[in-house]
Structure 1
Amino acid sequence: MYPFLKRIFDIVSAFFVLVLLAPIMIVIAIVIVLDSKGGVFYKQERIGKDQIPFGLFKFRSMKSNADKTGQITIGADARITKVGRFIRKYKIDELPQLINIIKGDMSVVGPRPEVAKYVQLYNKEQLNVLSVRPGLTDFASLEFINEQEILGKAEDPDKTYIEIIMPAKLALNKKYLEERSLGTDFKIIFQTIFKIFK
């Protein structure tokens, strides 16, 4: 029953928020285009449920082709645009993922989807994370909401992510798998909203 109710909640809530915020998203799209060269959206391949790749949507917050110089964002990354800094701070860049939720690629709450480069490093137990739909937010998103700052202070950001942050995130993903319920999902949603706007 839980998976069915969760899917209904995902579709209804994502559609409602998408319609509600549509005017704001149109304004954001215009500002992004005026701020720097490039498209409005950024699409990146992530690994979803059952290890199936999908295209994750975001509002573009970096200069065009910025991902060619690295897949993680660190500190005051020079690749981030002026508007990008603002929409990243308030997680506005993640709003297009509501489309991913409606399509069925993602859920509102679930382990954040990772790029293939890092998924290839998962051990057998960690791959269990991919047994559920990835989410817009989760326990790891709450714990590492300042991940960009942490990596900005690291001597080797990629090594720090692989050896410290990624295992910690996967442990929190395991916690979610063990505790998942509608109650847990609502708790994570409210905590996420609070953390973003506090």
Structure 2
Amino acid sequence: MSKRYSIYLTPISIFIDLLIINISIFIIKVSYLTPSFIIYINFGWLIISFYTKFYNVYRYTKQTKIISLLIVQLGIFFLAYFAYFSLFREGVIVNKQSNSLIIIFTLISFFKILFLFALRNYRLGGGNFRDVIILGGREPIESLTNLFNERSNLGYRFKGYFSDINTSREKYLGKIEDSFNYIIENNIDEIYCSISEFSQKQIKKIIEFGNRNNKVVKLIPDSKGVFSKGLELDYYDYIPVLTLKKLPFDNPIIKHSKRLFDIVFSLLIIVFILSWISCILFVLIKLETKGPLIFKQLRDGLNGKQFECYKFRSMGVNKDADKKQATKEDIRITKIGRFIRKTSIDELPQFINVLKGDMSVVGPRPHMTSQSKKFAKIVDKYFIRNLVKPGVTGLAQVRGLRGEIETLADMENRVRLDIFYINNWSFILDIKIIVQTVFNAIKGEEKAY
């Protein structure tokens, strides 16, 4: 298993646990084995694991921490398991469920430990590795270097270090300014940075470089005194390491749950709305102007990767479609086009993009490639929008920041709300945005032109 498959480790672990739970309750053959009970048990396990952080186990996580997570997760799950039967007769039920829970406890604990043991041995053989470099040459960098070299079961491949003050140590790769090209050219996964050797401005530059290039940045403090709200403190043996707090979408459970929601929601829209409205619009659009029903435009998606964004064509065919944004009195817009833009019907084909995986139902709206190139240079933290999939609708759009970008402040405010959404995501927030989008489409929006 190479490093690019590491993202599948948590889903595999979740799948094994759910398989054990379902097989166990089927073996006991309880009389209350109903669809509602099975759904309750499976979703209950996932919800509990999200709050206990049961699957937040990393290569440096200590065994005592893993055992603690097992006890907490299974303990809460057992309480939730019995809570389901609180409305039924308890006598026989408790006895039968006890057998099922004993099997679940034993098998999940056994396979959890076996899985982690096998993974560590696999790393000893050179698999599932992370290529890492260190920026800085002071203590405790030396201790961390020794850890990478001596603990090969952690799966770190230490490539070397960059420093402006210490050039004599083994595996010296160059000055700090040389590190950025090296990181990109050698596909480095993680950057460890000694806080004591850099100014706050330099640290910010390194963090922004990591975010822009999808690299993990970890900070090595002189003491725990630098621990702050935006950082999480971990220990590699006795060495303190500060990690930037992960975004909600970095959690595999959230990521896959949101994807499942996207698939189900987009299928419903495609089957029950897009299927018949496409036929009507095909006739109306063709009667007014020549050209295709669907307009395709290149836009920037996840990590800046381009994709073809679909819309119902609302303009006559023109050479500026990929360059010039629609304006309020745009003569290119057709009569039917003005209506479908006002009601946001023109955006419906983007649910095909959602089903394909290019977009999400809710997220930052994708911009034209020309716009992205322009604003990435002048709007602070613009690139953060690309850390998640773009959405059919988004927080900025329901707050009135949609349509034509007339001033730099328009884009800055849009980016500010997009970043807020990324940092504070929840399913409830997504539902609120969807409901508000429908409401805005019905009443019509001032900037929907």
* TM-score of the aligned structures, taking structure 2 as reference length: 0.40
Amino acid at match of 1:136: V
Amino acid at match of 1:115: M
Report the equivalent of 2:269.
17
**Which gives a bigger RCO, structure 1 or 2 (Cα 8 Å, sep 6+)?**
1
Amino acid at match of 1:83: I
Report the equivalent of 1:192.
437
Whether the 8 Å contact between 1:29 and 1:59 is mirrored in structure 2 is no
Long gaps (5+) in structure 2 = 1-252, 444-449
CA displacement at 1:145 relative to structure 2: 5.8
Amino acid at match of 1:119: S
Decide which of 389, 395, 420 is 1:175's aligned counterpart.
Answer: 420
Whether the 8 Å contact between 2:314 and 2:337 is mirrored in structure 1 is yes
Amino acid at match of 1:179: N
CA displacement at 1:192 relative to structure 2: 0.8
Q: Structure 1 residues 106, 192: closer, same or farther in 2, change over 3 A?
A: same
Q: Structure 1 residues 20, 84: closer, same or farther in 2, change over 3 A?
A: same
Which is greater in Rg? Answer: 2
What does 1:104-123 align with in structure 2 at a 5 Å threshold?
104-120=357-373, 121-122=375-376
1:41-92 per-position Cα deviation (integer Å, ceiling 9, x unaligned): 1100000001100000000000102535842111121110011011001101
- State the distance in 1 between where 2:353 and 2:424 align: 24
1:101-158 per-position Cα deviation (integer Å, ceiling 9, x unaligned): 000000000000011222223256221110100000011111236645xx6xxxxx4x
- Structural RMSD (CA): 1.7
Provide the identity percentage.
39
Structure 1 position 7 matched with structure 2 position 259: yes
Q: Structure 1 residues 2, 69: closer, same or farther in 2, change over 3 A?
A: closer
Whether the 8 Å contact between 1:2 and 1:182 is mirrored in structure 2 is no
CA displacement at 1:27 relative to structure 2: 0.9
What does 1:81-96 align with in structure 2 at a 5 Å threshold?
81-96=334-349
Question: What's the secondary structure of 2:320's corresponding residue?
Answer: helix
Whether the 8 Å contact between 2:401 and 2:414 is mirrored in structure 1 is no
Deviation >3 Å, runs of 4+: 145-148
| Bigger Cα displacement from structure 2, 111-120 vs 51-60 | 111-120
- State the distance in 1 between where 2:277 and 2:388 align: 31
Decide which of 62, 80, 85 is 2:333's aligned counterpart.
Answer: 80
- State the distance in 2 between where 1:164 and 1:87 align: 27
Long gaps (5+) in structure 1 = 152-156
Question: What's the secondary structure of 2:295's corresponding residue?
Answer: strand
Amino acid at match of 2:426: S
- State the distance in 1 between where 2:442 and 2:321 align: 31
| Bigger Cα displacement from structure 2, 130-139 vs 22-31 | 22-31
Aligned length: 187
Structure 1 position 49 matched with structure 2 position 306: no
Amino acid at match of 2:335: K
